[in-house]
Amino acid sequence: MASKRPTVLGKRSSPPLQLPRSKRSCVRVPGRRNVPPTWGVGKGDAAAGWNQLELTGQRGYPHSIIWALHQHKLGGAPRISFQHCLQKAFLYSLDCYRIFRTASPFDRRTTCLEWHPTHPSTLAVGSKGGDIILWDYEVLDKTYFVKGIGAGGSITGMKFNPLNTSQLFISSVAGTTSLKDFLGNTIRVFTSTDTWDYWYTSVDVSAKSRVVVTGDSMGNVILLNMDGKEIWNLRLHKKKVTHVALNPLCDWLLATASVDQTVKIWDLRQVRGKSSFVYQMPHERAVSAAYFSPDGAKLLTTDQHSEIRVYSASHWACPQHLIPHPHRHFQHLTPIRATWHPRYDLIVVGRYPDPNFAGFTPNELRTIDLFDGSSGKMMCQLYDPDSSGIISLNKFNPMGDTLASAMGYNILIWSHREIVTRKQEGLIKVMSEQGLGRGGSAHQPSPRNRPRQN
């Protein structure tokens, strides 16, 4: 096998990428070429933007758990569960969500986002250059930064090790799926390519059945045990595998998405080849993501053009909802992926307005859209005019009260205005005590993207 170096086929013209890059080696860590990383505190006030609610029913009532309990007790319609009341209360509260903190720690686009499974204000974010940051946004400067190789290092998938949350499973264009810690040590390499002709595109892990699954850009899916022993490696798709996801409850159920325009569901215990799937879901376009819902009962897929789908376990064969939504693919954009809220039947996804999309309206904004998973209806949009880029990645934290977004080079943290205000006061105090204060107020907005300003 050829060494992992530029190839004619790959059209790579730069020197071998595994060598230290003279241009990059002296660059401070973290940091952009000539721009220091930026860390921002959101404005958190009402003027910061608008969030548009499209709920039916009354407004202006404190939509809290108390409200939900009250509603439930009133029991207007018996089929409306307490859970549903809670979800409604949560949707109302989104009206008050603001950007709480921002960070722009990389010298390339953000490609990957993963919340810490237990620590509520900590997340890992990966970049196109292979950098990874572990960031606790509630504590100033509490970050770990693992430097990547630069060009060609792109992080394609991340998953915290469920058995040791100081470690991350990482798949990368640089040619490995491996387990690393935040000091940069490689604990184990699960698979590697010795060529730039293909690379790994996604990882998932099951603590229960102790397996690691990874997909590659040729359509192969590899199943390994936690010790790194390969169980099988099979070409399950005709084109690049874009996403692999294990069912959180049923750990032998695997979903794979591909640019071959299919999503396939597999029984891990009996995979023999391309056609041994349990279900196949043909799509209109290449598919970027297929996430099982937290309760394992649904599957959410995002294609590369203008469709989000919800499938239900009761009937995998046919989608429960086809949701039209503009999020077309573009070479220099991190593919947009819709994700589930961890507690409610809600879907979050970034909008990339498209004049050719059927529902296009002039002056459409690059919002974050929330859909109800059971009705398929859009319930709410989040928007901040100071962060007007396309928001490719959106994930709620495991608690479900904070949203992390990836917008180009930037990471945005959204939470409830009251919490934002309270916490920001504390942060600004600490900043000014440490001489980091910026006139005692938040960042000055930049015309395009506030987080880039410093």
The contact set with DNA (CB under 7 A) reads 10-13, 32-35, 104, 108-109, 128-129, 150-152, 154, 173, 196, 217, 239-240, 242, 259, 261, 285-286, 304, 328-333, 335, 352, 389-390, 407-410, 448-449, 452
Q: CB of 199 within 8 A of CB of 192? A: no
Q: From the CB of residue 125, how many other CB atoms can be counted at a distance below 10 Å?
A: 23
Cis peptide before 30 (omega within 30 of 0): yes
**CB of residue 285 to DNA, shortest distance in Å:** 5
The DSSP 8-state label assigned to residue 284 in this structure reads S
Nearest alpha-carbon partner for 345 in 312, 316, 384? 312
Q: CB of 292 within 8 A of CB of 245? A: yes
The DSSP 8-state label assigned to residue 420 in this structure reads H
Name the residue nearer to DNA (CB basis): 151 or 290. Answer: 151
Name the residue nearer to DNA (CB basis): 271 or 412. Answer: 412
Name the residue nearer to DNA (CB basis): 204 or 216. Answer: 216
Nearest alpha-carbon partner for 311 in 396, 393, 380, 373? 373
**CB of residue 404 to DNA, shortest distance in Å:** 16
**CB of residue 107 to DNA, shortest distance in Å:** 7
Q: How many Cα neighbours within 13 Å face the side chain of 33?
A: 6
**CB of residue 198 to DNA, shortest distance in Å:** 9
The DSSP 8-state label assigned to residue 290 in this structure reads E
Name the residue nearer to DNA (CB basis): 35 or 322. Answer: 35
Name the residue nearer to DNA (CB basis): 87 or 261. Answer: 261
Burial of 220 from C-beta contacts in 10 A (0-12 / 13-18 / 19+): buried
Strand order from edge to edge, sheet including 321-324: 287-292, 298-303, 307-312, 321-324
Q: Distance between CA 301 and CA 367 in Å, rounded? A: 19
**CB of residue 406 to DNA, shortest distance in Å:** 10
Q: From the CB of residue 210, how many other CB atoms can be counted at a distance below 10 Å?
A: 14
**CB of residue 58 to DNA, shortest distance in Å:** 37
**CB of residue 174 to DNA, shortest distance in Å:** 9
Name the residue nearer to DNA (CB basis): 59 or 332. Answer: 332
189 forms beta bridges with 178
**CB of residue 382 to DNA, shortest distance in Å:** 16
Name the residue nearer to DNA (CB basis): 157 or 335. Answer: 335
Q: CB of 415 within 8 A of CB of 98? A: yes
For the record, the structure tokens of 2 come out as 């050829």
**CB of residue 261 to DNA, shortest distance in Å:** 6
- Distances in Å between the Cα of 276 and the Cα atoms of 234, 265, 313, 443 are 11, 9, 18, 54
**CB of residue 397 to DNA, shortest distance in Å:** 23
The DSSP 8-state label assigned to residue 87 in this structure reads H
Backbone angles phi, psi at 97, to 5 degrees: -80, 135
Nearest alpha-carbon partner for 430 in 144, 138, 143, 36? 138
